[in-house]
Structures are given as structure tokens and as C-alpha cells.
């Protein structure tokens, strides 16, 4: 295991994002369609926050097995904006940050994903799942 491996080696580069003006129903659809749990929220090129699937679950029935709650979700989603429930001003890391540095940040914080930003450009996202998968590969 190389202690200096950059996070760019394991991050997701094709990042799904939400615009701060998108609605929560759009967010839920993206989470389910792409089978992801974290989405950076942007305004132009700026990252305003991170929305997690857990954020949606706190206010809805998004994980209900049946679609009978979809109308309830739509009603609830109309009461909130993405900006109201997202985590604001997320911690970011550079693509040159090491896997170890990112693991240390995630181990000490209450979130499970970090936007990867070079200069002011979003270039990726790294999650605790990415780190676990990296560790598993080290044992093969």
C-alpha cells in the first residue's frame, strides 16, 4: 500500500450534481437512478453543499418499498428546498490529497463523502465506500 497514493486514484470522476434550484423530487430520482447516496449541490461552478440520501429520508418516505407514498413525498418535498436540507459549505479536498489524508478526515467527521476540488473546479467525489473498496483491493 503506497502511503502517498492520491485520492484521484479512487475517486469518482463523473460526478452527478444538483443545481441549488432543483427540487427534491429531482434529487430523489437521481439518487435512485444512479444508485448513489451523496450529490454535490452547485450554483454555477461553486459548490454550495452536499445532499445525502439520508437527508431525504429524514423528511420523507423515499425508501418505502411501495410507491403508495410517492404522493406524500411530493407534498413533503414541496415544503422544502434543497438548500434548506443540504449540508452547507462542505469540506473539500484536492485531487492531490492522499488517500490517508482523506480517510483521516472522514473518520473524524459525521459525513461520508467529500467533493474533490482543484482550484475552484469540481473534479470528483470520494466516499467512505470508495475507501473501503480500496482497502479490500489491498488484501487481494
Provide the domain limits for residue 92: 7-138
Classify residue 127: in a domain, yes or no.
Answer: yes
**pLDDT score, position 82:** 95
Classify residue 132: in a domain, yes or no.
Answer: yes
Average pLDDT (72-85) is: 81
Residue located via cell numbers 461552478: 45
Classify residue 54: in a domain, yes or no.
Answer: yes
Decide: helix, strand or coil at residue 49. strand
* Residues in Cβ contact with 127 at an 8 Å cutoff, skipping those fewer than 6 apart: 12, 37, 38, 112, 113, 114
| Closest residue by Cα to residue 114 from 96, 98, 95, 92 | 92
**pLDDT score, position 67:** 52
| Phi, psi dihedrals of residue 102, rounded to the nearest 5° | -65, -40
| C-alpha separations of 84 from 51, 69, 100 in Å | 10, 22, 32
Q: Is the pTM of this model over 0.75?
A: yes
Decide: helix, strand or coil at residue 97. coil
- The domain that holds 54 is classified in CATH as 3.10.580.10
Classify residue 2: in a domain, yes or no.
Answer: no
Question: What percent of the chain stands above pLDDT 90?
Answer: 71
- Please count the structural domains in the chain: 1
Classify residue 62: in a domain, yes or no.
Answer: yes
Residue pLDDT, tens place only, 79-133: 899 999 999 999 999 999 999 999 999 999 888 999 999 998 999 999 999 999 9
Enumerate the H helices of 1-140 as residue ranges. Answer: 24-34, 53-59, 70-77, 82-85, 99-108, 128-138
| Residues facing 113 on adjacent strands | 127
Classify residue 1: in a domain, yes or no.
Answer: no
Q: By the 8 A CB rule, do 87 and 73 touch? A: no
Classify residue 48: in a domain, yes or no.
Answer: yes
**pLDDT score, position 65:** 45
pLDDT at 64 over 60: no
Classify residue 27: in a domain, yes or no.
Answer: yes
Amino acid at each position: 500500500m503506497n502511503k502517498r497514493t492520491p485520492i484521484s486514484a479512487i475517486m469518482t470522476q463523473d460526478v452527478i450534481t444538483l443545481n441549488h434550484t432543483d427540487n427534491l423530487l429531482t434529487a430523489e430520482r437521481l439518487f435512485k437512478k444512479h444508485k448513489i447516496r451523496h450529490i454535490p449541490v452547485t450554483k454555477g461552478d461553486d459548490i454550495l453543499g452536499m445532499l445525502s440520501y439520508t437527508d431525504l429520508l429524514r423528511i420523507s418516505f423515499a425508501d418505502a418499498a411501495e410507491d403508495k407514498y410517492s404522493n406524500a413525498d411530493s407534498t413533503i418535498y414541496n415544503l422544502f428546498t434543497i438548500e434548506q436540507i443540504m449540508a452547507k459549505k462542505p469540506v473539500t479536498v484536492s485531487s492531490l490529497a492522499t488517500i490517508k489524508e482523506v480517510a483521516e478526515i472522514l473518520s473524524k467527521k459525521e459525513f461520508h463523502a467529500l467533493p474533490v476540488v482543484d482550484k475552484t473546479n469540481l473534479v470528483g467525489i470520494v466516499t467512505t465506500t470508495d475507501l473501503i473498496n480500496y482497502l479490500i483491493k489491498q488484501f487481494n
